[in-house]
Amino acid sequence: MDKRVTFGGWTLPYLLLLPQVAVTAVFFFWPAAQAIYQSAFIPDPFGLKALFVGFGNFSFLLTDPFYLASFQTTAVFSGLVTIVSMALALWLAVMADRIIKGSGAYRTMLIWPYAVAPAVAGVLWLFMFSPNVGLVSWYLGVLGYDWNHVLNPNEAMGLVVVASSWSRISYNFLFFLAGLQAIPKSVIEAAAIDGAHFWRRFWTIVFPLLSPVTFFLLVVNVVYAFFETFGVIHTITSGGPQQATTILVYKVYSDGFVGQDLGSSAAQSVILLLVVGALTVIQFRYIERRVHY
Amino acid sequence: MSGMVEKRAAGLWLTHAGLILGVALIGFPIYLAFVASTVTQGDIIRPPMPVVPGGHFIENYREALVSGINAPVWQMLVNSMVMALGIALGKIAISILSAFAIVYFRFPLRHVFFWLIFLTLMLPVEVRIVPTYEVAANFGLLNSYSGLILPLIASATATFLFRQFFLTVPDELAEAARVDGARPMRFFIDILLPMSRTNIAALFVILFIYGWNQYLWPLLITTDPEMNTIVMGIKQMFPSGDDFANWPVIMATAILATLPPVLVVIAMQRLFVKGLIESEK
């Protein structure tokens, strides 16, 4: 897509681009290139010189049980976050779509969690489930269940999944609601006249018509769970217990900053770059398809 | 006939009940945080904690704002505000200029620049943590507002949004400006900028929240508690040992950290929804 009418001159457009290109070069491309470069070295403990190892860091990572476990953790975590937050959001959106009077008030009361930072969401959920003061964990104790996510890996995973899903529901809700409202009412009324029940109408007509929105949300929620949940993990579990909640992004951070293992951290960054690249391509293909109709 | 209406009315009540349940469940964590910010430490460390607000609202919030734990929370609020405004306004400014260049000019390497900007989508700060930190450190940007803002300021999304919008602006406007002998920047300031008002406002809401809620980057580059942002500063308020956390003050801080972005979303709801849905296209 190009404009028919344009202005002449070369200097002005370069000047206009300069701020963005400068920031991008200094803080995006240079560090990314550094990550690729550093991934081929192992720095000595004093940081004086680095030993060239080629793909050594990568072959080490791909056979490292901790790294492979982190991949698996990330897959479980992002799968659960995506399913939980999308299912709840769809349920709420279907109900909000049925309401004609007062739907604006419900929308307001359902969208504000979007504005709560994932790190703050982590603190809120940590507080409710804290083993020594949490209200929910106390009542679970009354019911005979001894909650302790600090020691129990499955409970830790459950808690970070719930907190991450909670902070994502509003986003998914808004997209599902917009998708539902875009479906022509005449299509649904026609099915209602034919005597189809609500749930039958939903699964045979509404849900298939929502599939572009659903697919889009699947991709962006996986991206969210991969990259934007660092705050939740850091505030609730710090990756523990026994690395049960160490997702890939958390591992880049803990190996690079806490463990000072720069070569490995750089190699992990490069692997993550490939993951984001693949996800972006999927997202972009989808965008192109949407432009066509 | 009346049977059918009754059935529909019952269904409607059920829908309302379901939505109210959803609203209550989603609101519960923040309600409980608010309750915790109005009671004493003693009320909390002897569980179960109360579920209705207590009478210590003013003293807890005053303690958080004035003294905090590592740094006064008012200071962290100022830092967050500077960072969020800097990121939102900075992103909008550099993106609208580069979109103008790409749409309204023909110059060598135009497509290369377009793809370079596009590629930044694939480089979130989370995947280039250590090297970006090193660059910021080399420029002396640790513990500074520029360090909090600059590395997060380039945005492919905002550039695309403005590009899409400019492509829908009728060619006749640029044509008329050219015939009148207007310089490109006059056209930009007098015509394009005013036409982009709604897009700028919608984008501002989204980017303000994005900037306010940053966590990993401030965690890396602000080691001085006086430079902490409120969102990252909360975690720093927890004691490292087995001591009880000062929950009333921490929860007051969590509420204060949440209030500005939530107010922006609620007050500018229409623009927020527009910005959210369009910036993802």
A31 within domain boundaries: no
The two structure tokens encoding residue A210? 């929502």
Average pLDDT, chain B: 89
- Indicate whether A206 pLDDT > 70: yes
Neighbour tally for A196: CB within 10 Å: 16
* pLDDT tens sequence across B147-168: 999 999 977 888 988 998 999 9
Amino acid sitting at position B254: A
* Inter-residue contact A34 to B158 (CB < 8 Å): no
Instruction: State the pLDDT confidence band at A175, using cuts at 50, 70 and 90.
Output: very high
Is 90 exceeded by the pLDDT of residue B9? Answer: no
A28:B120 CB<8 A: yes
Q: Report the residue of chain B nearest A178, measured CA to CA.
A: B277
Amino acid at A82: T
Give the structural domain span for A157: 65-292
Domains: count for chain A:
1
Whether chain B has a CB inside 8 Å of the CB on A218: the answer is: no
Name the strand (E) or helix (H) holding A186: helix A185-193
DSSP assignment, residue A246?
-
The answer to whether residue A57 is domain-embedded is no
- pLDDT > 70? residue A227: yes
Nearest CA in chain B to A128: B29
Q: How many angstroms away from the CA of A162 is the closest CA of chain B?
A: 11
Residues B154, B97: Cα–Cα separation, whole Å: 12
Q: Determine, yes or no, domain membership for A69.
A: yes
Q: Which of B25, B31, B39, B129 to mutate to test the interface with A (most CBs of A within 10 A)?
A: B129
- CATH node for B57-279: 1.10.3720.10
Q: What is the pLDDT of residues A121-166, one digit of tens each?
A: 999 999 999 998 999 999 999 999 999 999 999 999 999 999 999 9
CA distance A243 to chain B (A): 19
Confidence of residue A258 (pLDDT cuts 50, 70, 90): confident
Angle CA A144–A150–A151, to nearest 5:
75
pLDDT average, residue stretch B244-254? 94
Instruction: Give A 51-70 residues with CB within 8 A of chain B.
Output: none
Cβ <8 Å between A28 and B123: yes
Q: What is the mean predicted confidence (pLDDT) over A239-260?
A: 89
Residue in A217, A96, A159 with CA at minimum distance from that of residue B23:
A96
Residue B151 C-alpha, separation from nearest chain A C-alpha, in angstroms: 5
Residue A27 within any structural domain of the chain: no
| Cα(A230)–Cα(B183) distance, integer angstroms | 47
Cis peptide before B29 (omega within 30 of 0): no
B174 contacts in chain A (CB < 8 Å):
3, 5-7
The DSSP code for B128 is S
Does A201 map to a domain? yes
Interface of A with B in 147-176 (CB under 8 A): 166, 169, 171, 174-175
Q: Do B29 and A287 touch (CB under 8 A)?
A: no
ipTM attached to this prediction: 0.91
Helix/strand/coil percent split, chain B, to 5: 75, 0, 25
Residues 6+ positions from A139 with CB-CB distance below 8 Å: B48
**Does A213 lie at the interface with B, CB-CB under 8 angstroms?**
no
The pLDDT of residue B3 is: 44
A186 located within any domain: yes
pLDDT interval class at A68 (50, 70, 90): very high
> For the residues B231-248, what does the mean pLDDT come to?
88
Closest approach of A9 to chain B, Cα-based (Å): 8
A34 domain residue, yes or no: no
Task: Tell which residue, B1, B29, B157, B278, has the closest CA to residue A280.
Answer: B157
CA distance A43 to B133: 17
Q: Which CATH number belongs to the domain containing residue A264 in this structure?
A: 1.10.3720.10
